[in-house]
Amino acid sequence: MEFYITDVCGSSSQRSAWVPYFDDVQAILFLAPLTFWQSLDENPNIDCVQAPFHLWREIVGNPLLAKTALILLFIEKDVLQGHIEAGMPVKKYVPDFGDRPNDVASVTKYFRDKFLAYHRKFSPEPRPFIFHETEAIDTKVAAIILGEVEGQIIQNHLKDLDVIHT
CB 26 within 8 A of CB 156: yes
CA atoms within 13 A on the CB side of 111: 31
Is 27 annotated to bind a ligand? Reply is: no
Q: How far is CA 42 from CA 11, 30, 39, 47, 55, in A?
A: 6, 18, 9, 12, 14
Beta-sheet pairing, 69-75 with 27-33: parallel
In sequence order, the 6+-apart residues with CB closer than 8 A to the CB of 20 are 64
Known binding-site residue numbers for GTP: 136
Known binding-site residue numbers: 136
